[in-house]
Amino acid sequence: MATRGVNFNKFKMKLPKELNREAILKFLKKYDWPIIILVLLVFNLAVFTTEESPLDTFQNLRTSNNDLPLRKSPDPTVIYPRSADIKDYLAAKAEEELKRKQAENDKKEAIKAEQEKKAALSDSDLPIADLSLAAIDTAAPDSAEGELTTAMPLETVNISIGRGGTMAKALANLGLTPGEVSAAIKAISPILDLRFLRPEDRLMAIKSEPITHIELLRGIKDRYQLERDGASGQWQAHKVQISSTKMQKTVHGTVVSSLYQAIADAGEASGLATIFADIFSWEIDFFREVRVGDQFAMVLEREIVDGQPVPGSTKILAAAYNGAVGYHQAYRKDPNVDAYYDEKGQSVRKAFLRTPLKFARVTSNFGNRRHPLLGYTRKHNGIDYGVPIGTPVLSVADGTVTKVAQDNGAGKYIKVRYPNGYEALYAHLSAFNVRVGDRVSQKQVIGRTGNTGLSTGPHLHYGLKKGGKYINPATEKFPRGAALSSAEKAAFDEVIRKYQPLLMSSAPAKKTAELSTLVAEFEP
């Protein structure tokens, strides 16, 4: 039997235009159909086993999702949808899944809010004496037998405004109807701006049907009452006058590690160290000149309500610092005026601050140094302070902004012109708070520290010129502010006689044997 050969010239013929049953059979009969079938099988294994066809994708989606619409193509021979149909379907399913998850989250939030509401309504742990609500006197009924009646304790409701909360929501949580909420807000709005309520502010009420007395507590000192008139049912609001007392206290201590820690060890909030350092910021550089064994003393005044200090009411009436920088005193002439003078009546405020930062560490001093990046020795015309990015930078004096720019060396920088021929440079900033031409005041925040320009790490470069030449800000002698007049000096002397003995007696003797041992343990 002769071997059947393959005539490849036959494959040069064009396929029939219409692929119907008769044309396919005629084509296979005329040509070498076993070879054609083998080629088709190899092509199918090479392509359709590695990548799913659009038809298979569509069929899989139809099998698992009966809601996928079958869109007909204009060409009746095409039985699978266009790619756009599948993309639209998948996008619709993703949106449906997102809505489902959002609905579940909303349901959980609603359940949580309902639980918090029930817990708030059942909260009656606070004693009635702490509520500061108006006393409710009830006349005892006449009793011929002289029986005694026992007063039942009143149940109270305590609801906080909360983060993102409003007065309307808090009143609704008390059980007031929308009409009552609107009337209550209308009554209190003329005496209190409800836009500035804080999350910790809270409403307190005596639970009754209906509620007739509500109190809004804003901290310790500010309280407002809402009362419903029994006859008309209208709400009336007024601010409660809270009686307070002034208390003075003497605080003193010794620096072992830092001023912050020393004040904390004395039983005060470490934030008081910022106020104390601010008083002497013209005289003492608390970054460079604080030493272990330095002593401090201060006389504080606080406002007290119901035995608790009012937040933000602490004032330093007198302060003293004794250390390597010498002995410095400061007294407040008027408790209501934030101005301090030394024992001679000279203002402790000077034309310039010693540093443009509240607290930092010095990483590079003024003078010759080997540049950390350039590698050669050159003069460093300023002082570098190592601080985190974003630390507020203060203007050291009253002046005018002359330049706000950026270059490769100084990075983002600000130049400010000050009186008497002074000009300051604040470099390597991350943000600006001023523009060219702005008038700035002493201690005003003009920018934020950064790590821009030719810098090895986050820090502030502070340079100061006088008469066009750079000077050392740490050693420059700046003029003081105005002194008290002779008439004012007489009243000020009374202040000194009152507080100076407290400062002197509270400060322990420096360098005693016990302190010397303690200092030796911490000195390098």
pLDDT at 259: 85
Q: How far is CA 349 from CA 152, 400, 493, in A?
A: 61, 19, 19
205 contacts 235 by C-beta, under 8 angstroms: no
- In three-state secondary structure terms, 194 is helix
Determine the average pLDDT of the residues in 313-324.
90
pLDDT at position 137 over 60: no
How would CATH label the architecture of 361-471? Distorted Sandwich (2.70)
Residue 144 dihedral angles phi and psi, to the nearest 5°: -70, -30
- In three-state secondary structure terms, 412 is strand
pLDDT at 62: 46
Encode pLDDT of 13-57 as tens digits: 455 556 666 777 776 666 666 777 777 777 666 555 444 444 444
Q: Among candidates 356, 357, 358, 345, which has minimal Cα distance to 481?
A: 345
Fold (CATH) for 156-239:
Nuclear Transport Factor 2; Chain: A, (3.10.450)
Encode pLDDT of 471-492 as tens digits: 888 888 887 777 888 888 888 9
SS3 string, 48-101, reads CCCCCCHHHHHHHHHHHCCCCCCCCCCCCCCCCCCHHHHHHHHHHHHHHHHHHH
pLDDT at position 134 over 70: no
pLDDT at 167: 85
CATH class of 245-350+481-524: alpha beta
pLDDT at 309: 82
335 contacts 261 by C-beta, under 8 angstroms: no
Question: CB-based contacts of 89: which residues, under 8 Å, 6+ apart?
Answer: 61, 65, 68, 69
Q: Cα separation of 183 and 210, whole Å?
A: 14
- Any idea what the Cα angle at residue 188 is, between residues 183 and 193, rounded to 5°? 125
pLDDT at 240: 83
- Count CB atoms within 10 A of the CB of residue 516: 11
Q: What percent of the chain has pLDDT over 70?
A: 70
Our separate counts of H helices and E strands in the chain read 10, 23
Determine the average pLDDT of the residues in 129-139.
38
pLDDT at position 413 over 50: yes
Confidence of residue 430 (pLDDT cuts 50, 70, 90): very high
- In three-state secondary structure terms, 506 is helix
175/36: higher pLDDT:
175
Peptide bond before residue 69 is cis, with ω within 30 degrees of 0: no
pLDDT at position 458 over 60: yes
Confidence of residue 67 (pLDDT cuts 50, 70, 90): very low
**Mean pLDDT over the full length of the chain:** 75
Confidence of residue 83 (pLDDT cuts 50, 70, 90): low
pLDDT at 148: 36
Encode pLDDT of 348-398 as tens digits: 888 888 889 877 778 888 766 555 555 545 677 888 988 899 999 999 989
- Side-chain half-sphere exposure of 55, counting CA atoms within 13 A: 5
Determine the average pLDDT of the residues in 70-96.
57
Encode pLDDT of 49-66 as tens digits: 444 444 444 444 444 444
Encode pLDDT of 179-218 as tens digits: 888 888 888 888 888 888 888 888 888 777 788 888 888 8
At 209, which amino acid appears?
E
Full DSSP string of 109-156: HHHHHHHHHHHHHT---S-GGGS-PPP---PPPP-TT-PPPPPPPPPE
Determine the average pLDDT of the residues in 432-459.
90
pLDDT at 464: 92
Confidence of residue 87 (pLDDT cuts 50, 70, 90): low
b/e per residue 389-411 (b: at least 16 CB within 10 A): bebbbbbbbbbebeebeeeeebb
pLDDT at 372: 56
pLDDT at 112: 77
- Say whether 245-350+481-524 and 156-239 share the same fold: yes
pLDDT at 152: 44
Determine the average pLDDT of the residues in 120-139.
42
Give the long-range contacts of residues 9-12, CB within 8 A, separation 24 or more: none
For β-strands 399-407 and 411-418, DSSP reports them as antiparallel
**What are 308's strand-pairing partners?**
305
Full DSSP string of 373-397: TT-SEEEE-SEEEE--TT-EEE-SS
pLDDT at 405: 93
pTM of this structure: 0.50
Q: Among candidates 288, 363, 278, which has minimal Cα distance to 325?
A: 288
pLDDT at 54: 45
pLDDT at position 419 over 80: yes
pLDDT at position 119 over 70: no
pLDDT at position 461 over 60: yes
b/e per residue 244-271 (b: at least 16 CB within 10 A): eeeeeebbbbbbbeebbebbbeeebeee
Domain boundaries, the chain: 53-111, 156-239, 245-350+481-524, 361-471
pLDDT at position 7 over 80: no
pLDDT at position 514 over 90: no
pLDDT at 298: 92
Most confident of 220-234, 330-344, 376-390: 330-344
For β-strands 367-370 and 439-440, DSSP reports them as unpaired
- Any idea what the Cα angle at residue 173 is, between residues 168 and 174, rounded to 5°? 100
